[in-house]
Amino acid sequence: MWPRNDVHMDDGSMTPEDQEPVTDNDMEYNDNGEESSYSNGSSSSYNADKLSSSRPLQHKLDLSASPSRNNDLNPRVEHLIALFKDLSSAEQMDAFTRLLQESNMTNIRQLRAIIEPHFQRDFLSCLPVELGMKILHNLTGYDLLKVAQVSKNWKLISEIDKIWKSLGVEEFKHHPDPTDRVTGAWQGTAIAAGVTIPDHIQPCDLNVHRFLKLQKFGDIFERAADKSRYLRADKIEKNWNANPIMGSAVLRGHEDHVITCMQIHDDVLVTGSDDNTLKVWCIDKGEVMYTLVGHTGGVWTSQISQCGRYIVSGSTDRTVKVWSTVDGSLLHTLQGHTSTVRCMAMAGSILVTGSRDTTLRVWDVESGRHLATLHGHHAAVRCVQFDGTTVVSGGYDFTVKIWNAHTGRCIRTLTGHNNRVYSLLFESERSIVCSGSLDTSIRVWDFTRPEGQECVALLQGHTSLTSGMQLRGNILVSCNADSHVRVWDIHEGTCVHMLSGHRSAITSLQWFGRNMVATSSDDGTVKLWDIERGALIRDLVTLDSGGNGGCIWRLCSTSTMLACAVGSRNNTEETKVILLDFDAVYP
Amino acid sequence: MSAPVADAPAAEIVYKIISSDGVVSKMSEKAVQQSKTLSNLIENLGYTIENIETRDPIPVTNVNGKTMAKVAELCEKHKADAIPEDNMNVLKTLTIPEWDQKFLKIEDEALFDLILASNFLDIKGLMYYGCKTVSNMAKGKTTAELREIFGINTDEQDAAEETAQKAAAEVA
């Protein structure tokens, strides 16, 4: 009985380890067309086999590697090993157990270090590449960066383009191409008497940075293209969050007047002013391209069309003008409003304008035709949103109205606010409207619900009018004249964070990246917040004249650049636009 | 009454599979269908309900008996399941069922063999669960942790070992 068991166990324990891994590996790697992969895999496979092989094989290898060591061999140890090899598997196990009991902890710890690798596998190096790709396919970009640092084999497999292309989050693919931003106004900086940009790079370092920036290597990558995009996106985010600010510029214009509105489309910045003009700037070149002259009253609202071909402006002269971004020429003057044009929204080439005359008008900016007039508000229309079909408007009559743009019919009137409505958000897909009012509250409406039951959340906590809001999913961020930013959950109707730090009214808000919000304020500062943690990241701009009239009227940004309109109501601060650069090149 | 009883056993085919080390495993007809390679092998070699009893076991020379036994166990468990779509996006949304999580909580060596076997035998479910299991071992880890988990030397350590081996060879 006993001897037969011995023989069986010996066979069982030896044969699979000796034969199976080599055979399988050879078969699998032969299926691949990639030679380099094969050789790498083969080499690692051999190492793995060595780890998993039995002791006698290791012993043999040691002897062949250095036969001269025979002189140093301890005869007592050699004798012990010879005896050990004669034992059956069960007897060897018994011997091991009793030897361990006779060993001190130092030796046992060393044994653990020797034994542990036998239970581990370098999967990525040993498996065929297509299986390795399946393993890496489940990891995040951040995990892939760690994987690339583990070993040469892991770096090679983690560079496969397909793996990076299939990352779940796609935000990093949407940044515009890298920019230079070294010409025109960028040649100087925005650091000047009265303007502080904390964390701005020192001038001597800036010159080095600009020189290096111009030494481009084209679009050739030494790694997966999407990995380059991922790394650049990561760098851009760090540029916003923590790194020194590597470039800034001042655009001077609209002297001694207020910049009332500002928009960005790709590389075009448009500023409107109560000096009756708009200016069209090229951001990357840091220069003005056109000054749009024609209005006979202050410009109070403007838009750039989604296609980028049209600039539309509304004015106290009661007209709406359509301009070309190609050459700055005036294409149409849209007449019909009988008072100041106060707000507008565009979808495609269809424009909706709201006015102090209590009406909204619908226009086609390509042909300049008037399509409809929406009557119903009893006081000035202050804000409007439009998705191409449905118009949402808020007014000084305390109401929010829902309209059909084609028929001109008012579908629904949302009542509940006790004072003027100053800001609106409309999310068409969910039929959600958010309205901010001088009554200090923000209301969330779902206008598909039965009449009178549309209000789904009443958000209270602010103490003045809400000047801006942005919504993503169920998270709403609002900025208010009470100097606070609040983060709300509209599903729960609760305030998640209150962000304090500004010392007077907040004028603008911009949410970009995953959790970054920038705000501008009458106190002369621009602040960057993390709305997930509910904390200030840092100040981006500080005016010395803040608190004495210097204020920042408007803020807007792209993913790599921030623009803020600076000025004052009492001539303590020159009117200008400050630009900050947060771009990065491909690594 | 007697007819259904008589038919039931006859309808159930059980295949014998002989592994590279001569160990024989058994798999039911439905379980075998989880493996495209085995299904094709059975069809091409002409195994049928009529001749299954008299023929030699189906030869699978690339998988050892221990691994094949585990493969058979998993295929029996999932024999009623649809075969997953061959699509990389499946991996992103895949959740490993609890039974399979326990099944795959094994030594790296055995898991490695299972993944290779799933590739050779074309068992999509096992391949996805196996690869996802290794992914989960790597998720959220630092580089040093990854080296420790998978038993990988740094390139410097490998270079040092190589140098030592060359020096030893020169002495010899």
Question: Within an 8 Å CB–CB cutoff, is residue A15 touching chain B?
Answer: yes
Q: In angstroms, how far is CA B35 from the centroid of its own chain?
A: 10
Q: Which CATH class is domain A336-460?
A: mainly beta
Residue for token pair 């004798």: A79
Cβ–Cβ of B138/A121 closer than 8 Å? no
Minimal Cβ distance to B132: which of A24, A120, A138: A138
Per-residue pLDDT of chain A (587 residues; tens, 9 = 90+): 233 333 333 333 333 333 333 333 333 223 333 323 333 333 333 333 333 333 332 322 333 333 444 556 788 989 999 999 999 999 999 999 998 998 898 988 888 878 877 778 888 888 888 888 889 888 888 888 888 888 888 888 888 888 888 886 667 788 888 888 888 888 888 887 788 888 888 877 888 887 777 766 555 556 778 888 888 888 999 999 999 998 899 999 898 899 999 999 999 999 999 999 999 999 999 999 999 999 999 999 999 999 999 999 999 999 999 999 999 999 999 999 999 999 999 999 999 999 999 999 999 999 999 999 999 999 999 999 999 999 999 999 999 999 999 999 999 999 999 999 999 999 999 999 999 999 999 999 999 999 989 999 999 999 999 999 999 999 999 999 999 999 999 999 999 999 999 999 999 999 988 899 999 999 999 999 999 999 999 999 999 988 888 999 999 999 999 999 999 988 889 899 999 999 988 87
Sequence-distant (6+) residues with CB within 8 A of B30 are B79, B80
Shortest distance, CA B48 to any CA of chain A (angstroms): 29
Find chain B residues with C-beta within 8 A of A168's C-beta: 92
Instruction: State the angle between helix axes of B124-138 and B65-77 in degrees (0 to 180), rounded to the nearest 10.
Output: 100
Question: Within an 8 Å CB–CB cutoff, is residue A166 touching chain B?
Answer: yes
pLDDT, greater one: A106 or B151: A106
Question: Within an 8 Å CB–CB cutoff, is residue A27 touching chain B?
Answer: yes
pLDDT digits (tens, 9 = 90+) for B47-77: 887 887 888 888 888 888 889 899 889 888 8
Cβ–Cβ of A24/B65 closer than 8 Å? no
In chain A, residues under CATH classification 2.40.128.630 are: 169-263+464-586
Query: Sorting pLDDT into bands at 50, 70 and 90, what band is B6?
Result: very low
Cβ–Cβ of A139/B138 closer than 8 Å? yes
Question: Domain ranges in chain B?
Answer: 14-139, 143-171
CA distance A382 to A396: 7
Cβ–Cβ of A120/B65 closer than 8 Å? no
Residue B74: HSE in the Cβ half-sphere, 13 Å Cα cutoff: 30
CA distance A531 to B107: 43
Work out how many CB contacts closer than 8 A connect A with B: 132
Q: What is the pLDDT of residue A217?
A: 56
Question: Within an 8 Å CB–CB cutoff, is residue A137 touching chain B?
Answer: yes
Q: Is-contact A28 B116, C-beta < 8 A?
A: yes
Cβ–Cβ of A146/B141 closer than 8 Å? yes
Question: Which H/E stretch holds residue A51?
Answer: helix A35-52
Shortest distance, CA A514 to any CA of chain B (angstroms): 19
Cβ–Cβ of A138/B150 closer than 8 Å? no
Find chain B residues with C-beta within 8 A of A120's C-beta: 108, 149-151
Find chain A residues with C-beta within 8 A of B107's C-beta: 119
Find chain A residues with C-beta within 8 A of B169's C-beta: 65
Cβ–Cβ of A127/B112 closer than 8 Å? yes
Cβ–Cβ of B172/A152 closer than 8 Å? no
Find chain B residues with C-beta within 8 A of A144's C-beta: none
CATH 1.10.3720.10 for domain A169-263+464-586, yes or no, is no
Cβ–Cβ of B64/A166 closer than 8 Å? no
Residue for token pair 């409207």: A433
Shortest distance, CA A96 to any CA of chain B (angstroms): 21
Q: What's the fold here for domain A117-167?
A: Monooxygenase (1.20.1280)
Q: Is-contact A518 A540, C-beta < 8 A?
A: yes
Cβ–Cβ of B172/A154 closer than 8 Å? no
Of A139, A125, A167, residue with least CA distance to B136: A139
Question: Which residue in A32, A142, A146 has the most chain B C-beta atoms within 10 A of its own C-beta, making it the best mutation to test that interface?
Answer: A146
Q: What is the pLDDT of residue A176?
A: 87
Minimal Cβ distance to A146: which of B146, B152, B155: B146
In chain A, residues under CATH classification 1.20.1280.50 are: 117-167
Mean pLDDT of chain B: 83
Cβ–Cβ of B112/A123 closer than 8 Å? yes
CA angle (A427, A484, A401) in 5-degree steps = 30
Shortest distance, CA B89 to any CA of chain A (angstroms): 8
Q: What's the fold here for domain B14-139?
A: Potassium Channel Kv1.1; Chain A (3.30.710)
Comparing alpha-carbon positions, the chain B residue that sits nearest to A114 is: B151
